[in-house]
């Protein structure tokens, strides 16, 4: 049976973590964990961990919306855990880099 977990954690004023994952019999079959910053009344993704395209990866965005993709080579379960931990631990530096306009190549 499919089980979905979906929640938002407010990290600071205008900063949130969005977490969603689905499991079947305890096995993660889909997940997304992302850090979002509110810019001019619109939530912008700063970093996203997910399994779109059939593999685990992180997408890092700059303020213009450009992104780089980093393959993680982790199981869905491990990537979900890592992404959640990384955002919890490093959201301040991700936010600051994003707002400073750091570009990714």
Predicted confidence (pLDDT) per residue in 3-49, tens digit? 999 999 999 999 999 999 999 999 999 999 999 999 999 999 999 99
Minimal CA–CA distance to 31: which of 70, 61, 5?
Answer: 5
Does position 59 have pLDDT exceeding 70, yes or no?
A: yes
Minimal CA–CA distance to 53: which of 81, 77, 27, 72?
Answer: 72
Torsion, CA 12, CA 68, CA 49, CA 38, rounded to 10: 20
Go through the chain and tell me how many residues it has.
105
Q: How confident is the model at residue 104 (pLDDT cuts 50, 70, 90)?
A: low
pTM equals 0.93
């Amino acid at each position: 049976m499919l089980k979905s977990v979906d929640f938002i954690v407010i990290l600071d004023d205008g900063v949130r973590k969005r977490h969603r994952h689905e499991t079947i019999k305890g096995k993660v079959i889909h997940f997304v964990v992302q850090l979002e910053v509110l810019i001019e009344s619109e939530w912008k993704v700063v970093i996203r961990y997910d399994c779109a395209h059939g593999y685990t990866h992180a997408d890092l965005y700059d303020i213009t919306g450009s992104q780089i993709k980093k393959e993680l080579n982790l199981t869905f379960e491990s990537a979900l855990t890592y992404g959640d931990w990384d955002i919890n631990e490093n959201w301040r530096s991700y936010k600051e880099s994003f707002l400073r306009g750091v570009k990714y190549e």
